[in-house]
Structure 1
Amino acid sequence: MKSLKTQRDYVAAQKSFDKADYYQVLGTLNRLLDVDKDPKHYALLGATLVKLRMKTEAAQAFQVAASQESRHRLSYMREAMRLHFANSDDISLLRLGAKSLNDVLADPDMAMLMSGALMRQEMEGAQAFQKTLAESDNREHRRFSIRSIRLATRSEAEHKLIVDTFEREPDDKILRNYYLTVMRDVNAYDVIDKYDPILKAEIEAGELEPFYDEISLYNIRWCSDERVNAIAGAARVRKPPGITAKRRAMPHTWGNKLRIGYLSADLWTDHAVMKAFRGVLEAHDRNRFDITLFCNASEKTLKESNDAVRENWGRIISIRNMTDDEAVEAVKDANIDILVDLQGHTADNRITIMNQMTAPVHVTWLGYPGTVVNVDIDYLIADRTVVPESSFQHYYEKIVWMPETFFPNDAIHRSLPRKIDRSICRMPKDAFIFSCFHTHWKISRTTLDLWIRILKETPGSYLFLICKETFGSRKNLLKGFTDAGIASERILFGDRVMDYSAYLDRIALTDLGLDTYPYNGHTTTSEKLWCGLPMLAHKGDNFASRVSESLLNAIGLPEMVCDTKDEYVRRAIHYFNNREELAEIRERLAKNRFIMPLFDAERFCRHLEKAYETMVDRAKAKLKPDHFEVPALPSRDEPFSTRTE
């Protein structure tokens, strides 16, 4: 039984707390804990330390309180975990939760904290808490259960969880947008047809709040309204106030060479970004530029999907197992002048590193076709096509216009397509074959309807598509065609081909490429043009829907860009009926491949280096970033390569 003095001291400490005399509380508790280590005494200590903004020490006090048996043990544990999370001490939080995992699984508040810490540390295991969160009475718990799912690699159970959670609460617009994300991903056109008019009406009415929580990348997959693209995902990333001015004002020592740091998880040869970027990376002038790659790729990915000696690209610093603070120190230690983010809001990014004081100049480029919301970035590298001046108001960054296209390409490491027989790919020998090699989620309802119109007016033609079976995507896509009266045998499905040379061979077998809308092909568009396949695109209203136009212009085929959807359909029908024109375009593509800018990596690199020099010149002169255009080098009169195989 507690002594009378102990009880009096505890009551006195409580009264001092109520009067906000927190140092008096500490003095009293210091004496009290010498004689009585009751968990409630540690809990009061923790609460007092919170008031004194000593959150790390407060978390430790609550953790001690939770380590002892009491009727408030779970409350103490919950508060310790909350404070660990607020302190970004995920490891202490996870260790604490692991000791009482059954308690965590029964408590949605603690489950959300555990899940959040695992996600922040990019560790596996968040799925263990999804059911607890989804079944909670608290709406934020239910939303977090869905946020914790990695959509690109979701399991069947996670896919079902998204659907079931939304169906239980169909009025929650945050859950609705996640639900629609996976429905678009599986080409569920009946669902898309139901909700697209609703979304359009909300946007027109200025009801944009639900989009602040939508994943940015998934928003630009379906929405071509730049005003919405610019706010999508804003609730998911926090940009520290004042960080831009602090970063630009920090001391920096400039060297004889410009030190460029590239930040990405995609720095391996089989990734689409490196298929585009590798030639430029290898073309950097090492006498003037020092290159460092801050690589977030996993060792497993590098082992299985990389066949290059990456050290030839520059110095490699793996940040995969670093915290953000550790990665920031690595950038500082390298004394980087320009840190270039190559991912934006895409999977496995480390974009939050850009929200710390790393380098005098921050740039984003290539991996994400749009503005990067709530991230401290000075410049976005684009061109006049993908980001015209009229779009500047929707971009947080200052725009750098490359002279020909923003998109680099590699003419060194890609094989040229070989002549093979169509029978190898199960394609009809003499038929006219339209094709699209883009990922199936790019086949929006708008795209589907355009292709249906084309197929109806081109009897005997076929359409070759790449589509996974996952979650019924291929079945849904085929149903979209057959419901419109297109015979199923006219849709030819192919699978992904691991052999890159064989993949290019297959592209060249088809007659006319058809681009998707609103998310165009990027690397896949380049690959079609590299293979000599004529391709049609139509102008869009945002970055992602203007990419193919940029690429077609850079290969000298501006006439393949259509101003309207009707023209897109009309031109496809025209080429079906006038195949000799397609043969002429193929000849032009073969001629232009090694003389026009699209595949000229060395030329692109010189333009890119000029852009970097201009950025640094402004930074050295203490001038704020501003829009600028890179001047074009003289056009080539001779091929930059003599490759024939």
Structure 2
Amino acid sequence: MPESSVLSVNLDTAFLNALQLSEQASLEPMQLIAVAERLGTVRRHTDVVRLYQSWLAHCRSTADYIVQFNLGVTLSQLEQLPAAEQAYRSAIQSKPDFVQAWFNLGAVIERQGRADNALIIWQSMLDHPLVGPELNRELYLMVLNSMGRLMEETRQLNSAEAKLLASLQADPEQPKVIQHWVHLRQKQCEWPVFTELEQLSLGEMLKATSPLAMLSATDDPGLQLATAQRFVSERVNQRVAELAPRSGYQHERLRIGFLSSDFCLHAVSLLTVELFELLDRQAFEVYGFCWSREDGSALRARVKSAMDYFIPIGALDDAEAAQLIRQQEIDVLVDLQGLTSGARPNILAFRPAPVQVTYLGFPGPTGLPCVDYVIADEYLIPDSEKPFYSERPLYLPVFQCSDRQRPVAALPSRAECGLPEDRFVFCCFNNNYKFNEEQFDCWMRILQQVPGSVFWLLADNQWSQANLCARAESLGVARERLIFAPRVAPELYLARYTVADLFLDAYPFNGGTTANDALWMGLPVLTRSGRTFASRMAGSLLTALDLPELITRSLSEYEQRAVELAKDKQQLGGLRQRLKHGRENSLLFDMPSFVRSFEAGLSRAYARLNKA
């Protein structure tokens, strides 16, 4: 058979001829790769694998390692990961310094759930070295960035920060790397978070900061909006055709879709599950569009059972997911994700529903032109702050829903929590990335003014704990006065609140679910309100409870009020009694009333379609 037969315009003919030549050990590597590339272009990956395997079984060449590598790539595309791993290993055996094969080997091992092994592979590339600042520089950055990402995902925060720092020192013009590096520093309470590097100014760091990280970094609403809009301009494809009719549909019952990756044991589901359950099925159909992990939790099962239709979209790309939502003719799509981790704003960009709303997941402006409304209350977004939102506020009497059925474990003693029996216990169980120097230093001044008091914190990670203790000691507060509580199941966590005296909220990123939980368990929450959504969340909850005495508006007022309450048992006891009454009688925990207001709000928004 002439070798030119593999150049046939007919791809089937070229493929069969190439197979025959490979079995005769007569197919040259370049001809093999040419046919394989043609097959790959039309996604005939199974045929590509068959051709490569046939050639490797019958032919020999100094290019074996390239064929093995290409086979590994194709097997990876087919999700045949163990076979892909073996192909990469064979390529490396043929050519030990084949850098790209080493990198891909780590990647395919990671995809099989062996994170530690992947990190070992990539670290070996740095140690030998196969890559470096002046050696295969592009792959050097890929190795460092992949290691940083995976280390962050596996909670090796300090090592992740170091890898990303090395990457930025080699190439500071990497906005996505800066974004993760900044947030890693926030998570570890590495202060100041924004530390100028060579060839990387503070302004460039600020520009690359993620919308989520910016909620903790500043109380400037304009900067938060600008950050969100920059993120959207860089990451969201706004040049796509809208799928849903702008005039809406004419359904007998309004179809509400909830969009989230947090339909699992997550703060969003902890707050929303009873909302899903209580929506009036005479007037509404409820859909859940989910790309959440299957965590096997009772909460996930409860969320799924609360939906009329629960539709997984994790295996679909954004365009496919948007098309699926459009096919359901959803009237109002409520995005519970915003710009938080795992968000898929490109689904919303297709406008698969005529009305699109952001709620709860991201406490700030999304900057998304495709989002029409943000659910809020008049305390959360006063008239003066409306210009700093890309969305129109959809006002309810109170913005946050709750779950009255949240399970609570047996109440512990202070001794069981590692707390002193006779001391005043301040607490803050917010994630540590919400902390900053100004707020923490204020907390330490409060401790100094309340002799013997202790501060009970979440043991978020070992690096933040060490940094917080070191900061306390530098300010003259013994590290023993900071007591760290490990993460536990939600029912155990809720029970803890009953042994604390006062919750000290963070600023400018207030507690959301944590503040709600503390108040539900009868623990007064002292907060500071600013101008941003994130800095007004706890104030909104306290307003709904008619407890304005616990809302402050400056750092000095916050500090003074905390000390005052710690030294006045009668006043604090009175607040506890009012809080206990509020649990049964306030707007905040009256879920049937909240659900009716939520339904009315979405119905108003949908009715405006025909008035526009």
State the one-letter code of the partner of 2:185. Answer: M
Matches within 5 A, 1:565-580: 565-580=555-570
1:302 aligned residue: 296
State the one-letter code of the partner of 2:212. Answer: L
1:176 deviation in Å? 5.1
1:145 aligned residue: 146
Cα pair distance change 1:420/1:63, threshold 3 Å: closer
Q: Deviations over 1:56-83 (max 9, x none)?
A: 369899878866566667778888999x
1:170 aligned residue: 169
1:339 aligned residue: 333
Q: What is the CA–CA distance in structure 2 between the aligned matches of 1:58 and 1:308, rounded to whole Å?
A: 42
1:618 aligned residue: 608
Q: 1:462 aligns with which of 421, 446, 454?
A: 454
CA contact (8 A) 2:410 2:495 kept: yes
Matches within 5 A, 1:211-222: 211-212=207-208, 214-222=209-217
1:253 deviation in Å? 4.2
2:255 aligned residue: 259
Q: What is the CA–CA distance in structure 2 between the aligned matches of 1:351 and 1:150, rounded to whole Å?
A: 25
Q: 1:432 aligns with which of 424, 430, 448?
A: 424
Cα pair distance change 1:331/1:588, threshold 3 Å: same
Q: Secondary structure at the match of 2:558?
A: helix
1:565 deviation in Å? 0.9
CA contact (8 A) 2:502 2:524 kept: yes
Q: 1:544 aligns with which of 525, 534, 554?
A: 534
Q: Deviations over 1:442-486 (max 9, x none)?
A: 333222111011112222222222214x44432332222122111
Matches within 5 A, 1:4-403: 6=4, 26=9, 38-41=28-31, 55-56=41-42, 68=55, 90-91=77-78, 97-98=84-85, 100-102=87-89, 103=91, 124=113, 128=118, 130-131=122-123, 135=131, 137-138=137-138, 140-142=141-143, 144-146=145-147, 148-149=149-150, 151-154=152-155, 156=156, 159-167=158-166, 169-170=168-169, 172-173=171-172, 174=174, 175=177, 177-188=179-190, 192-193=191-192, 195-196=194-195, 202=201, 207=204, 211-212=207-208, 214-226=209-221, 227-228=223-224, 230-231=226-227, 234=231, 238-243=235-240, 246-249=242-245, 253-268=249-264, 270-299=265-294, 301-303=295-297, 306=300, 308=302, 310-322=304-316, 324=318, 327-356=321-350, 358-372=352-366, 376-389=370-383, 391-392=385-386, 394-395=388-389, 397-403=390-396
- TM value normalised by structure 1: 0.75
Q: Secondary structure at the match of 1:359?
A: coil
Cα pair distance change 1:511/1:165, threshold 3 Å: closer
State the one-letter code of the partner of 1:604. Answer: F
1:312 deviation in Å? 3.8
CA contact (8 A) 2:247 2:609 kept: no
Q: Deviations over 1:418-440 (max 9, x none)?
A: 87653343433332221112233
Higher mean C-alpha displacement, 307-316 vs 590-599: 307-316
1:132 deviation in Å? 7.5
Q: What is the CA–CA distance in structure 2 between the aligned matches of 1:458 and 1:317, rounded to whole Å?
A: 53
Q: Which runs of 5+ in 2 are unaligned?
A: 22-26
Q: What is the CA–CA distance in structure 1 between the aligned matches of 2:99 and 2:332, rounded to whole Å?
A: 43
Q: What is the CA–CA distance in structure 1 between the aligned matches of 2:270 and 2:562, rounded to whole Å?
A: 29
CA contact (8 A) 1:514 1:535 kept: yes
Q: What is the CA–CA distance in structure 2 between the aligned matches of 1:252 and 1:277, rounded to whole Å?
A: 26
RMSD value over aligned CA atoms?
4.3
Matches within 5 A, 1:463-542: 463-468=455-460, 470-498=461-489, 500=491, 502-542=492-532
Q: What is the CA–CA distance in structure 2 between the aligned matches of 1:548 and 1:29, rounded to whole Å?
A: 66
Q: What is the CA–CA distance in structure 2 between the aligned matches of 1:512 and 1:142, rounded to whole Å?
A: 46
1:442 aligned residue: 434
Q: What is the CA–CA distance in structure 2 between the aligned matches of 1:254 and 1:108, rounded to whole Å?
A: 59
1:553 deviation in Å? 1.6
Cα pair distance change 1:150/1:273, threshold 3 Å: farther
1:598 aligned residue: 588
CA contact (8 A) 2:257 2:330 kept: yes
Q: Secondary structure at the match of 2:493?
A: helix
1:262 deviation in Å? 1.2
Q: What is the CA–CA distance in structure 2 between the aligned matches of 1:584 and 1:258, rounded to whole Å?
A: 44
State the one-letter code of the partner of 1:590. Answer: K
Q: 2:547 aligns with which of 554, 557, 582?
A: 557
Higher mean C-alpha displacement, 575-584 vs 125-134: 125-134
Cα pair distance change 1:426/1:124, threshold 3 Å: closer
Cα pair distance change 1:505/1:262, threshold 3 Å: same
Aligned pairs, number: 578
Cα pair distance change 1:303/1:618, threshold 3 Å: same
Q: Deviations over 1:196-236 (max 9, x none)?
A: 5789x956x5x36x744x55434434344442564368389
Q: Secondary structure at the match of 2:256?
A: strand
Cα pair distance change 1:309/1:44, threshold 3 Å: closer
Cα pair distance change 1:238/1:434, threshold 3 Å: closer
Cα pair distance change 1:355/1:63, threshold 3 Å: farther
Matches within 5 A, 1:411-422: 411-413=404-406, 421-422=413-414
Q: What is the CA–CA distance in structure 2 between the aligned matches of 1:421 and 1:32, rounded to whole Å?
A: 74
1:609 deviation in Å? 1.3
CA contact (8 A) 2:529 2:536 kept: yes
Higher mean C-alpha displacement, 91-100 vs 368-377: 91-100
Cα pair distance change 1:444/1:115, threshold 3 Å: farther
CA contact (8 A) 1:267 1:274 kept: yes
CA contact (8 A) 2:232 2:367 kept: no
1:515 deviation in Å? 0.5
Cα pair distance change 1:217/1:150, threshold 3 Å: farther
1:106 deviation in Å? 6.4
CA contact (8 A) 2:425 2:500 kept: yes
Cα pair distance change 1:391/1:578, threshold 3 Å: same
1:184 deviation in Å? 2.6
CA contact (8 A) 1:29 1:41 kept: no
State the one-letter code of the partner of 2:590. Answer: D
Cα pair distance change 1:428/1:498, threshold 3 Å: same
State, as a whole percentage, how many aligned pairs show the same letter. Answer: 25
Q: Which runs of 5+ in 1 are unaligned?
A: 14-24, 624-645
Q: Secondary structure at the match of 2:588?
A: helix
Cα pair distance change 1:515/1:555, threshold 3 Å: same
Higher mean C-alpha displacement, 601-610 vs 142-151: 142-151
CA contact (8 A) 2:351 2:370 kept: no
Q: What is the CA–CA distance in structure 2 between the aligned matches of 1:389 and 1:241, rounded to whole Å?
A: 29
Q: Deviations over 1:385-429 (max 9, x none)?
A: 44445555554x4222323332212234455x9876533434333
